[in-house]
């Protein structure tokens, strides 16, 4: 009888250790556990969508658009950065053919997990002319 008990105990121990191992493997490799983790890049993209949408919506205003065009032509970093908000900054100014351009970089999300850069180019003109 004691032999049977030892066998049962061994079997239970083996089973329970197998269960533990399989649970550990399942929980670390399971796709369901991955779904519950937060992805900072996804949240960063959502934040970028909202902020950049607001930025471009404000450019529907003729005064804001004229201010941006003038700032690009005059290479006025401060005016552009005031218009584009806290998440974005001017990287550089450059010319491309008959256009004056500014490169803008923006960071979004926790730990700056998303970086978006884009260029805005406007036809050359007199810096004070808009």
Whether 11 maps to a domain, the answer reads: no
Q: Which of 1-10, 49-58, 88-97, 118-127 has the lowest mean pLDDT?
A: 1-10
Phi, psi torsion values for 95, nearest 5 degrees: -110, 145
Residue 77's pLDDT is what?
96
Whether 26 maps to a domain, the answer reads: no
Whether 107 maps to a domain, the answer reads: yes
Split into its structural domains, the chain has a count of 1
Residue 33's pLDDT is what?
47
Phi, psi torsion values for 112, nearest 5 degrees: 50, 50
Whether 2 maps to a domain, the answer reads: no
8-57 per-position pLDDT tens digit: 444 443 333 333 333 333 334 444 444 556 788 898 999 999 999 999 99
Q: Which of 2-6, 52-56, 91-95, 99-103 has the lowest mean pLDDT?
A: 2-6
Whether 90 maps to a domain, the answer reads: yes
Q: In what order do the strands lie in the sheet with 99-108?
A: 88-96, 99-108, 114-123
Whether 23 maps to a domain, the answer reads: no
Beta-carbon contacts of residue 81 (< 8 Å; ≥ 6 apart)? 88, 89, 90
Residue 1's pLDDT is what?
47
Average pLDDT, the chain: 78
pTM over 0.75: no
Q: How many helices (H) and strands (E) does the chain have?
A: 5, 3
Residue 129's pLDDT is what?
57
Whether 32 maps to a domain, the answer reads: no
Domain of residue 52 covers 38-123
Whether 51 maps to a domain, the answer reads: yes
């Amino acid at each position: 009888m004691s032999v049977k008990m030892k066998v049962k105990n061994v079997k239970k121990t083996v089973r329970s250790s197998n269960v533990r191992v399989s649970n550990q493997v399942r929980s670390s490799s399971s796709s369901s556990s991955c779904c519950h983790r937060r992805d900072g890049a996804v949240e960063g993209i959502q934040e970028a969508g909202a902020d950049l949408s607001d930025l471009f919506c404000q450019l529907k205003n003729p005064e804001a658009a004229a201010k941006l065009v003038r700032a690009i032509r005059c290479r006025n970093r401060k005016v552009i950065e005031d218009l584009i908000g806290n998440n974005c900054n001017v990287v550089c100014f450059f010319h491309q053919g008959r256009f004056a351009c500014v490169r803008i970089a923006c960071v979004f999300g926790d730990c700056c997990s998303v970086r978006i850069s884009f260029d805005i180019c406007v036809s050359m003109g007199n810096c004070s002319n808009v």
